[in-house]
Chain A
């Protein structure tokens, strides 16, 4: 009889315990540094989080999610995250959402990324490309019309063009269209779009007539399967993407700064402050390790100074901008 009673009580007990736990779940934790946002910035933030937790002997917990720059800002401006990874500056709409929720933030550039235009290694006819040629290929008007290589440049063969590019939710898409077409989010739609850059890597690696674009790290890890296209910069020189060419400013207009946004309220917490300081201190070394281009040393110290002085807001005023140098970026006035 007793055994039967126990057996009967077990499911009820489990159910009760789960219910109790769920009620308890309402209390949120404060000892966790919560980060979400861009998949482009993710590798750097992940590396920093990994090293930080090791250095702190796991006393401070860090979580990093990937929901895209836009998705990250949505959570950030609802106060769900402490830090937002962003591969482009915060936009007007997102600024308004943050303002409405009373979320103030620091905008900290942490590294450079070089958007890389890639072709198949067997492609012998493309030696370099100009922004105009890229625009011809990618602008919305090209949809359904620019389908053969000799339409872009008569010197190129009469072969079909296979396009691979970033999906429209990514900051990469926003920046590429801004830099090439001249207007963010303005692109032809008839190309293979994916948020997963490995799909694009595969696509370009398998088709001799393919061309695509994505962040430098994906090219750097796949140099055997892909060929980068030198892009003619505003000074008229064709430049290959590389760490050096991004640092010396010659790889234009496709190099871009990437950011973390730190909520002011979160920064007041000791663990977030520690993490951000760790980020800026080790960001250069770690971003190089994950194939991103570090900022000059003075940019990281400048960031720390901005944090100390309480320089809140963005220096971009809610619009995407192309070709802004890191020096200019550090000197500008910030607005919320």
Chain B
């Protein structure tokens, strides 16, 4: 269709520009729905729980009296579980990612593995809980311990770590690899000297996104049987006597933040709702802090890379 006059062309342009504006507005609306929902929840939790955000809230054990109840065992449990999760998921996930990208030959086997890893990332977390219940709790006899929870969440975030590692590695220009190989470097030297340092920012981001998911998980932790009332801390990992480190904490019963929140929301006494809101605020804050750390790390590491 040929356009006849300048007026028609102007009308066409105006129409298209209008569509642009409409889509822009639509996008802002979509964004606002998400952001406002989150902001409302966050502010609401802060308002409800503000009175409970005292130093004692962090240093008190759970109690039947809402005013004295705190999250000490919950936040310590969460930190310990997250530590185990990271200690297991990061080496396994990063190594798998490097192998798949740098070592494995590209054939149908690796294709199948790749598809399955992506699928695993979408498996509901309760399924990991059931797997862990059969495998870690009963088969390996680990019981309802910090180690079980950490391993379970490590399985849960493993696909995320692997995928993030591979994406980060793929972003490195092929020329870097080729240059290193041309100088006679072995595969391991290439990985160690170039691939890993350059992809570290992306990997860290992936790991922290995975951890941020794991920290709020409730379903698999309930399935493996986390406890609700714990008024003691796991044994300290560092001691004053030889050998200075102890692993008893791994076998200790535990509770985590989401479980504590879940328990408080189901109490008869409405005063516990304020505790739940305060604990929820802290959990969201922990997640935000982790994401902030990811952004900061990525920025710092990228700054040091000069190709």
Are both chains from one complex? yes
Task: Report which A residues bind B (CB closer than 8 A).
Answer: 11, 14-15, 17-18, 20-22, 24-29, 32, 34, 36, 39, 42-43, 45-47, 49-50, 53, 58, 61-67, 75, 80, 196-198, 215, 217-218, 220-222, 289-291
Compute how far the CA of A291 lies from the CA of B88 in the bound complex, rounded to whole angstroms.
Answer: 45
6 residue pairs bridging A and B, Cβ less than 8 Å apart: A22-B250, A26-B142, A50-B61, A61-B232, A64-B229, A198-B268
B263 proximity list for chain A (CB < 8 A): 66
- Which of B232-262 touch A at CB < 8 Å? 232, 245, 247-248, 250-253
For B148, the closest partner residue in chain A by CB is A25
For A220, the closest partner residue in chain B by CB is B268
Inter-subunit contact A222/B87 (CB<8 Å): no
Inter-subunit contact A47/B64 (CB<8 Å): yes
For B154, the closest partner residue in chain A by CB is A18
Inter-subunit contact B63/A50 (CB<8 Å): yes
B59-98 near A? 1/0 per residue, CB < 8 Å: 0011110000000000000000000100110110000000
CB distance from B251 to the nearest CB of A (A): 4
B268 touches which of A27, A58, A291 (Cβ 8 Å): A291
B268 proximity list for chain A (CB < 8 A): 43, 197-198, 215, 217-218, 220-222, 291
Inter-subunit contact A24/B248 (CB<8 Å): yes
B291 at interface, CB cutoff 8 A: no
B251 proximity list for chain A (CB < 8 A): 21, 24-25, 27-29
Compute how far the CA of A63 lies from the CA of B146 in the bound complex, rounded to whole angstroms.
Answer: 14
For A224, the closest partner residue in chain B by CB is B270
Task: Report which B residues bind A (CB closer than 8 A).
Answer: 61-64, 84, 87-88, 90-91, 140-143, 145, 147, 151, 225-232, 245, 247-248, 250-253, 263, 265-270
Inter-subunit contact B84/A65 (CB<8 Å): no
A289 proximity list for chain B (CB < 8 A): 64
Inter-subunit contact A39/B225 (CB<8 Å): no
Inter-subunit contact A39/B266 (CB<8 Å): yes
B248 proximity list for chain A (CB < 8 A): 24
Q: A25-B250, A36-B227, A67-B225 are in contact. List 15 more A-B contacts (CB 8 A).
A: A21-B250, A21-B251, A26-B142, A39-B266, A42-B228, A50-B64, A50-B231, A58-B231, A61-B232, A64-B227, A66-B263, A198-B268, A218-B268, A221-B269, A222-B270
Inter-subunit contact A15/B87 (CB<8 Å): yes
For A34, the closest partner residue in chain B by CB is B253
Inter-subunit contact B265/A64 (CB<8 Å): no
Inter-subunit contact B232/A53 (CB<8 Å): yes
CB distance from A166 to the nearest CB of B (A): 13
A-B contact count (CB 8 A): 109
B64 proximity list for chain A (CB < 8 A): 43, 46-47, 50, 289-290
A11 proximity list for chain B (CB < 8 A): 90-91
**Is chain B's binding surface mostly helix, strand, loop or mixed?**
loop
For A14, the closest partner residue in chain B by CB is B87
B252 proximity list for chain A (CB < 8 A): 29
CB distance from A254 to the nearest CB of B (A): 17
Given the known A-B contacts A39-B266, A220-B268, are A25 and B228 also in contact in the complex, defined by CB atoms under 8 Å?
no
For A60, the closest partner residue in chain B by CB is B232
Compute how far the CA of A298 lies from the CA of B286 in the bound complex, rounded to whole angstroms.
Answer: 51
Inter-subunit contact B87/A18 (CB<8 Å): yes
Compute how far the CA of A221 lies from the CA of B232 in the bound complex, rounded to whole angstroms.
Answer: 28
For A286, the closest partner residue in chain B by CB is B64
Given the known A-B contacts A21-B250, A24-B247, A50-B64, are A65 and B225 also in contact in the complex, defined by CB atoms under 8 Å?
yes
Inter-subunit contact B266/A64 (CB<8 Å): no
Compute how far the CA of A289 lies from the CA of B64 in the bound complex, rounded to whole angstroms.
Answer: 9
Inter-subunit contact B231/A62 (CB<8 Å): yes
A80 proximity list for chain B (CB < 8 A): 143
8 A-B pairs closest in CB distance: A21-B247, A64-B229, A21-B250, A25-B251, A221-B268, A65-B227, A217-B268, A218-B268
Compute how far the CA of A289 lies from the CA of B251 in the bound complex, rounded to whole angstroms.
Answer: 34
Inter-subunit contact A21/B147 (CB<8 Å): yes
B225 proximity list for chain A (CB < 8 A): 36, 65, 67, 75
A47 proximity list for chain B (CB < 8 A): 64
Given the known A-B contacts A198-B265, A217-B268, A222-B270, are A22 and B147 also in contact in the complex, defined by CB atoms under 8 Å?
yes
Inter-subunit contact A25/B91 (CB<8 Å): no
Among B147, B227, B252, B268, the one with the most A-chain Cβ atoms within 10 Å of its Cβ is B268
CB distance from B139 to the nearest CB of A (A): 12
B247 touches which of A20, A34, A62, A215 (Cβ 8 Å): A20
Compute how far the CA of A14 lies from the CA of B63 in the bound complex, rounded to whole angstroms.
Answer: 35
Compute how far the CA of A50 lies from the CA of B88 in the bound complex, rounded to whole angstroms.
Answer: 34
A221 touches which of B84, B253, B270 (Cβ 8 Å): B270
Among A46, A61, A63, the one with the most B-chain Cβ atoms within 10 Å of its Cβ is A63
A290 proximity list for chain B (CB < 8 A): 64
